[in-house]
Amino acid sequence: MRRVKSGTHCRALIVGVTGLGLVFSLTSSVGAQSLSAPQPLLPFGGAHYVGEGQWVASGRLTHGVPGIYVTTLRLADSTNRVGVAWLNTSLLSAKIYSGSLSPGGRFWHYTAPIQRAAARTLVGAFNGGFLLNASNGGYLSEGHRVAPLRVGAASLVIYRDGSMTVGQWGRDVRSSPSVVAVRQNLNLLVDGGQPVAGLVASDISKWGAALHAVTNTMRSGIGLTKSGALVYVAGPMTIVDLAKVLVRARAVRAMTLDMNPLWPIFATYSPASPTGYASAGNGKILIDSMQQTAGRFFQPAYSRDFVTLSVR
């Protein structure tokens, strides 16, 4: 990897080369500097509904501009709509909150519920991955390596300054003093800007055990775009659909997160004042088909891991 000078407030690392060109990952605090707002997403075909693929700002402003944009898309030959969120990694600071069940242990400082001090800068939050016994990957946070990090695993990586990226462990991302958290889950679902080979729409096991063998179950995933932004996707769909939507959202690398109706949840928070406190009352979920509410992350009984997005 080599550094690329990109201004006085940020640095970028070239973390990979694909057919789409160089892939950048922001790794330093950016202050008020921001990535450009995302371009609309092209619907999958046929008649589209009003607002489909059009981004709308969601959540409190970060340094006076939106840090998160959201939209929805309808899957081809389906009435199902899926939610897409675009995350400005140059403005948002990420942190993994660990759970007593996933990944396990009760020694965590950052665990549910989100405390009032953190709620003052909270912009959004989203679910983590599978239970570790099903993730085929490792977990690192707060200096605790709960499970070994597997070379080749799809990895969501968070750096000391709060920036984050997605990549294959050992190729795109690896251990360094700046890495403070790693959440691994299966292998990459999208690589080089394309779905990986061998995906089958009827799959209910290789890419996660589908509850009641339902292929169009609620699924979620997260990917890195060429610009360095991240995109989160969730909705009722097959594993093939999830890969296609991540690519449509311009992910060049992407991984699966948690699945089945109870677990995928993405919420943004819009307090009445810029320095107000995020809460269940001012939260909004990404898509109505999510079973959880925006208050989920504030409940002490939430034993699963999740990621918070806060103002830098």
Name, of 34-48, 103-117, 244-258, the range with top average pLDDT: 244-258
Segment 19-37 mean pLDDT: 48
Task: For residue range 91-107, list pLDDT tens digits in order.
Answer: 999 999 999 999 998 88
- pLDDT for residue 33: 59
In a domain, residue 22? The reply is yes
Task: For residue range 203-262, list pLDDT tens digits in order.
Answer: 999 999 999 999 999 999 999 999 999 999 999 999 999 999 999 999 999 999 999 999
Which amino acid is located at 67 in the chain? Answer: G
Percent of the chain with pLDDT over 70: 89
- pLDDT for residue 29: 38
User: pLDDT confidence of 34, banded at 50, 70, 90?
Assistant: confident
Which amino acid is located at 26 in the chain? Answer: L
Whether pLDDT at 21 is above 60: no
Domain tally, the chain: 1
Whether pLDDT at 283 is above 80: yes
- pLDDT for residue 45: 84
In a domain, residue 43? The reply is no
Segment 263-270 mean pLDDT: 98
Please provide the average confidence, as pLDDT, over all residues in the chain.
90
In a domain, residue 38? The reply is no
Going by C-alpha positions, the residue among 285, 226, 275 that lies closest to residue 63 is 275
- pLDDT for residue 61: 96
Segment 265-293 mean pLDDT: 97
Going by C-alpha positions, the residue among 221, 261, 278 that lies closest to residue 62 is 278
In a domain, residue 39? The reply is no
In a domain, residue 44? The reply is no
Q: How far apart are the first and last CA of the chain?
A: 25
Measure the CA dihedral 152/86/219/46, to 10°.
-120
Contact 35, 89 (CB under 8 A): yes
Query: Domain range spanning residue 261?
Result: 7-32+52-312
Contact 228, 26 (CB under 8 A): yes
Contact 68, 57 (CB under 8 A): yes
In a domain, residue 271? The reply is yes
Cα distances (angstroms) measured from residue 159 to each of 94, 168, 177: 8, 16, 9
In a domain, residue 232? The reply is yes
Segment 264-278 mean pLDDT: 96
Contact 294, 285 (CB under 8 A): yes
Percent of the chain with pLDDT over 90: 84
- pLDDT for residue 47: 74
Segment 166-178 mean pLDDT: 97
In a domain, residue 242? The reply is yes
> Token pair 């009760």 is at which residue?
106
- pLDDT for residue 79: 85
- pLDDT for residue 26: 36
In the 3-class helix/strand/coil scheme, how is 130-170 assigned residue by residue?
Answer: CCHHHHCCCEEECCEEEECCCCCCEEEEEECCCCEEEEEEC
